[in-house]
């Protein structure tokens, strides 16, 4: 897990230096640059995870000197690919970076389909003077870019593009849609004007000052290729095999690996399969808590861990930490993030880094592939679990600003409506924003996050199965619960989903009331104060402080805005 940066076209070396400095936290182990005079500048911040030798530092140049790659992520099946290529390419390192570059040289663009991993990378061809860049299937690793005056700049983080001199100007349509509909933008959008992101499953080519973007991953066709008419037991067995292989692949590292755990079903499966690894007694588990019995999952976590005996690192988050921690994470995120649960999660990575655990596994992705949210079977367009009243308070917004909002319309490629909701969450809403939040907070503390449940083989297979394999007698994620029951007792496996993780609603209304109030004052006096109807803004805050706290999303939206726009 690293940081990449580059400028194709006109550039000054100081621009690349500024970009690399701004995202140094992504890769503190080595920083290096490559220049093709008059054409390209590439930079890399390295967090060494596989093959720790300096020979694997980047930018990495192939044996002929023609191709140069900067790469962020991991290719989990690099050993298998290397075995196939060993008679066609003379490898000089043990890195997955060199395997990635060799596969591109030998197979061309089609090599992307052979990769099992999380990645964003750029390959410069200094003979043809063209750039090829790509992002993994689900967009686990970021790729942001700006094209202006025939020059392409790209980086892992938005702040690096601003550091290169690109104007920091708000994308008002995205901001307005965020407040009005809770949207974080479409896959190619960001909250900043002039800065786009390469969508997951797409590649980019920049040749002779012309930019083209192509979709390389066709999820729907891959789902259609899955085996048909499997019995429940056959599906359960096949999915279990894929699960175990996915976990095994993600333990490939030359540094210590740990995992994050909560009290839910997904974590119980992760915990069980992690403990099939050799010498599992030394694999650290991490969880957070807030000393609030209404929200903390610690009792469930401790009950599960008691059965596996992993070392458990418990990370406490207190209300008084929130203002300072929020300011730090706001700077790292570059865009609005998910609230206090994200801050709690950030503290886990901070602790892991202190412990020398540089890779953490996480349970993201199960709800989306197994229809785990209550709204999947409801006749509405909800994207938030367990909230009845609308969390979006549009009357806070001025008429002129609200008119800039666009309600997002998502494609529906499947005949089944539940599948379409899962597809929306996987490619447009829940997973893209969670991956962004999590990438930024793991990188804040120079640690790598791996998502074994987002192995594309798992997601494609789960999508292809009948709905009654996913939801049975009102019980969601049924196959997963059957798998987990082989390892844990039923009161853990069949416990209902707990959608709320921290006392955010209560803290914002009580412990953090003064801070929240100050944030709202900053909104009214800020540079974009005309975005808001100030009387209604204060009325919503007053109602919240008086006890209308079913949802705190609109309050957090305002806090996040005030923290980010004052910078």
SS3 567: coil
Tell me the per-residue pLDDT of 386-437, one tens digit each, with 9 for 90 and over.
455 678 999 999 999 999 999 999 999 999 999 999 999 999 999 999 999 9
Tell me the per-residue pLDDT of 27-43, one tens digit each, with 9 for 90 and over.
999 999 999 999 999 99
SS3 467: helix
Please check the confidence at residue 492 and state whether its pLDDT lies above 60.
Answer: no
Model confidence at 473, pLDDT cuts 50, 70, 90, reads confident
What's the pLDDT score for residue 34?
98
Looking at residues 241-269, what average pLDDT do you find? 92
What's the pLDDT score for residue 463?
96
Across the chain, what does the average pLDDT equal? 93
Please check the confidence at residue 268 and state whether its pLDDT lies above 80.
Answer: yes
What's the pLDDT score for residue 500?
61
Looking at residues 451-470, what average pLDDT do you find? 96
Please check the confidence at residue 137 and state whether its pLDDT lies above 60.
Answer: yes
Backbone Cα Rg of the chain: 23
Tokens found for residue 217: 């991953």
Which sign, positive or negative, has the C-alpha torsion 353, 350, 178, 180?
positive
Closest CA to 442 of 359, 526, 504, 339: 359
Please check the confidence at residue 474 and state whether its pLDDT lies above 90.
Answer: no
Kind plus residue range of the DSSP H or E element containing 336: none
What's the pLDDT score for residue 5?
98
**Which residue ranges make up each domain of the chain?**
3-217, 241-384+407-493
What's the pLDDT score for residue 389?
66
Full 3-state SS string of 161-189: HHHCCCCCCECHHHHHHHHHHCCCCCCCC
Please check the confidence at residue 496 and state whether its pLDDT lies above 80.
Answer: no
Model confidence at 329, pLDDT cuts 50, 70, 90, reads very high
Please check the confidence at residue 460 and state whether its pLDDT lies above 90.
Answer: yes
Q: What is the assigned CATH class of domain 241-384+407-493? A: alpha beta
What's the pLDDT score for residue 490?
56
> For the structural domain made of 3-217, what CATH number should be given?
3.60.20.10
Q: How far is CA 138 from CA 49, 134, 135, 430, 456, in A?
A: 22, 12, 8, 12, 8
Q: How far apart are CA 260 and CA 532, in angstroms?
A: 39
What's the pLDDT score for residue 276?
86
Percent of the chain scored above 90 by pLDDT?
A: 83
Please check the confidence at residue 50 and state whether its pLDDT lies above 80.
Answer: yes
What's the pLDDT score for residue 156?
98
Please check the confidence at residue 495 and state whether its pLDDT lies above 70.
Answer: no
Please check the confidence at residue 564 and state whether its pLDDT lies above 90.
Answer: no
- Beta strand pairing call for 3-8 and 40-46: antiparallel
Please check the confidence at residue 70 and state whether its pLDDT lies above 70.
Answer: yes
Kind plus residue range of the DSSP H or E element containing 203: strand 202-207
CB 132 within 8 Å of CB 42: no
Please check the confidence at residue 337 and state whether its pLDDT lies above 90.
Answer: yes
Please check the confidence at residue 566 and state whether its pLDDT lies above 80.
Answer: no
What's the pLDDT score for residue 245?
96
What's the pLDDT score for residue 275?
87
Active site residues: 2
Crossing angle of the two packed helices 172-181 and 553-565, in degrees rounded to 10? 160
What's the pLDDT score for residue 485?
85
Model confidence at 381, pLDDT cuts 50, 70, 90, reads low
Tell me the per-residue pLDDT of 280-322, one tens digit each, with 9 for 90 and over.
667 999 999 999 999 999 988 998 888 888 899 999 999 999 9
Would you state the torsion angle of the CA atoms of residues 330, 332, 334, 339, taken in this order, to the nearest 10 degrees?
A: -40
Tell me the per-residue pLDDT of 346-370, one tens digit each, with 9 for 90 and over.
999 999 999 999 999 999 999 999 9
What's the pLDDT score for residue 465?
96
Please check the confidence at residue 82 and state whether its pLDDT lies above 80.
Answer: yes
Selected residue with higher pLDDT from 6 and 483: 6
Tell me the per-residue pLDDT of 171-211, one tens digit each, with 9 for 90 and over.
999 999 999 999 999 999 999 999 999 999 999 999 999 99
Does the annotation flag 17 for ligand binding? no
CB 79 within 8 Å of CB 90: no
Tokens found for residue 394: 């549009």
Q: Can you give the pTM of this predicted structure? A: 0.95
């Amino acid at each position: 897990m690293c940081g990449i940066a580059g400028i194709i076209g006109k550039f000054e070396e100081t621009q690349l230096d500024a970009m690399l400095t701004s995202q140094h936290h992504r890769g503190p182990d080595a920083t290096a640059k490559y220049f093709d005079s008059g054409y390209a500048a590439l930079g890399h911040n390295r967090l060494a995870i596989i093959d720790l030798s300096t020979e694997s530092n980047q930018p990495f140049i192939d044996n002929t000197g023609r191709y140069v790659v900067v790469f962020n992520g991991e290719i989990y099946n690099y050993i298998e690919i290397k075995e196939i290529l060993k008679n066609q390419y003379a490898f000089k390192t043990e890195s997955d970076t060199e395997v990635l570059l060799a596969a591109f040289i030998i197979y061309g663009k089609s090599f992307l389909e052979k990769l099992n991993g999380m990645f964003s990378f750029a390959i410069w061809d200094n003979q043809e003077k063209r750039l090829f860049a790509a992002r993994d299937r689900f967009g686990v690793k970021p790729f942001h870019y700006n094209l202006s005056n025939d020059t392409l700049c790209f980086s892992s983080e938005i702040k690096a593009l601003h550091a290169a001199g690109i104007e920091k100007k708000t994308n008002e349509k995205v901001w307005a849609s965020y407040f009005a509909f809770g949207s974080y933008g479409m896959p190619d959008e960001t909250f900043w004007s002039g800065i786009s992101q390469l969508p997951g499953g797409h590649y980019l080519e920049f040749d002779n000052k012309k930019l083209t973007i192509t979709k390389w991953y066709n999820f729907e066709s891959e789902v259609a290729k899955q085996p048909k008419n499997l019995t429940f037991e056959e599906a359960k067995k096949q999915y279990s095999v894929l699960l175990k292989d996915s976990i095994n692949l993600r333990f490939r590292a030359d540094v210590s690996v740990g995992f994050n755990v909560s009290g839910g079903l997904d974590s119980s499966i992760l915990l069980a399969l992690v403990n099939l690894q050799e010498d599992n007694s030394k694999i650290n588990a991490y969880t957070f808590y807030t000393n609030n019995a209404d929200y903390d999952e610690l009792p469930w976590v401790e009950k599960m861990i008691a059965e596996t005996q992993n070392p458990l690192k418990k990370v406490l988050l207190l209300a008084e930490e929130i203002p300072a921690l929020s300011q730090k994470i706001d700077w790292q995120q570059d865009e609005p993030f998910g609230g206090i649960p994200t801050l709690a999660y950030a503290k886990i990575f901070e602790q892991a880094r202190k412990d020398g655990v540089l890779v953490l596994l996480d349970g993201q992705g199960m709800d989306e592939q197994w229809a785990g949210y209550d709204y999947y079977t409801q006749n509405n367009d909800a994207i938030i679990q367990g909230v009845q009243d609308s969390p979006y308070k549009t009357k806070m917004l001025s008429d002129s600003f609200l008119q800039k909002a666009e309600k997002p319309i998502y494609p529906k490629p499947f005949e089944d409506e539940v599948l379409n909701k899962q597809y929306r969450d996987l490619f447009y809403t829940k997973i893209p924003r969670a991956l962004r939040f999590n990438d930024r907070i793991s990188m804040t503390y120079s640690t790598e996050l791996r998502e074994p449940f987002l192995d594309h083989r798992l997601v494609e297979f789960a999508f292809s199965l009948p709905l009654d394999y996913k939801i049975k007698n009102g019980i969601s994620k049924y196959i997963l619960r059957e798998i987990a029951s082989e390892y844990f007792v039923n009161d853990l496996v069949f416990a209902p989903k707990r959608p709320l993780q921290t006392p955010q609603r209560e803290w914002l209304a009580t412990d953090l009331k003064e801070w929240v109030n100050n944030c709202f004052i900053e909104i009214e006096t800020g540079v974009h104060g005309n975005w808001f109807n100030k009387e209604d803004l204060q009325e919503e805050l007053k109602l919240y402080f008086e006890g209308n706290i079913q949802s705190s999303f609109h309050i957090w939206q305002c806090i996040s805005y005030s923290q980010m726009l004052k910078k």
